[in-house]
Amino acid sequence: MRQIVLDTETTGLNPRTGDRIIEVGCVEIRNRMLTGNNFHRYINPERDSHEDALAVHGLTTAFLSDKPKFAQIVEELRAYVDGAEVIIHNAPFDLGFLDHEFRLLGIKPFSAHCSRVIDTLVNAKELHPGKRNSLDALCDRYGISNAHRKLHGALLDAELLADVYLAMTRGQNSLTMEVDVEAVVAGGLLDTVALAEVCVVRASADEMRAHEALLDGLDKQVKGTSVWRAYAQEKEIAPGT
């Protein structure tokens, strides 16, 4: 299975009012392994970024002025994602910009070139309802270091999201009790784990007599009723169980 984790940075929030993509970052996963075959391009949007957007990504108009326009990288991007499963956090935002850029060039929408799109924000809300599910929050939840993330960057965020996605979808991979019970229950994994048949071996009559003799000795030592006999009486444990 070939999967592409994708993120973009933009000049603002709305492609319908003229905002454009300024950075695309992609990370390739094959059979749940990072391959290192990544795709990263800065893009000249031919316009300034909004002040709020600039504070998020830090990519100035001067820095982007000599970068290729989207039309110059679109064929590379299309070939890179062709037929792959694309993973995006808050997919409607990135897809809105990508589809807009493709339409401006008279090309079918971006999603038409990949097999399907997975929105990790939707997945995270299903696994962790009522909790914060931003990329930073998910990194904290799954123990993924994002200390180097001072500003948003498409490739950096795609790399972090790839780690988050693999952690979110790894299932039960441990035989210890150190598992995220909430995630297991929410993900429905408990319903899919086949339990071994429980084998009940009852004590024999000789074993029960030996057990009673042991309890008698404990009662004698404490000069009353031992905690073991008191517990058995309280729980009304039947002989031989």
Q: Is residue 235 classed as helix, strand or coil in its secondary structure?
A: helix
Which residues touch 94 (CB under 8 Å, ≥6 apart)?
6, 7, 8, 88
C-alpha closest to that of 146 among 168, 132, 161: 161
The single-letter DSSP state of residue 172 is -
Which tokens is 61 given? 């108009």
Helix (H) or strand (E) holding 94: helix 91-104
Q: Which two tokens stand for residue 202?
A: 């009852």
Q: Is 152 a residue of the active site?
A: yes
- How far lies 117's CA from each of 4, 81, 158, in Å? 9, 11, 14
Options 40, 50, 152, 211, the catalytic residue:
152
Question: What are 12's two structure tokens?
Answer: 């603002």
SS3 state at 99: helix
Active site members:
152
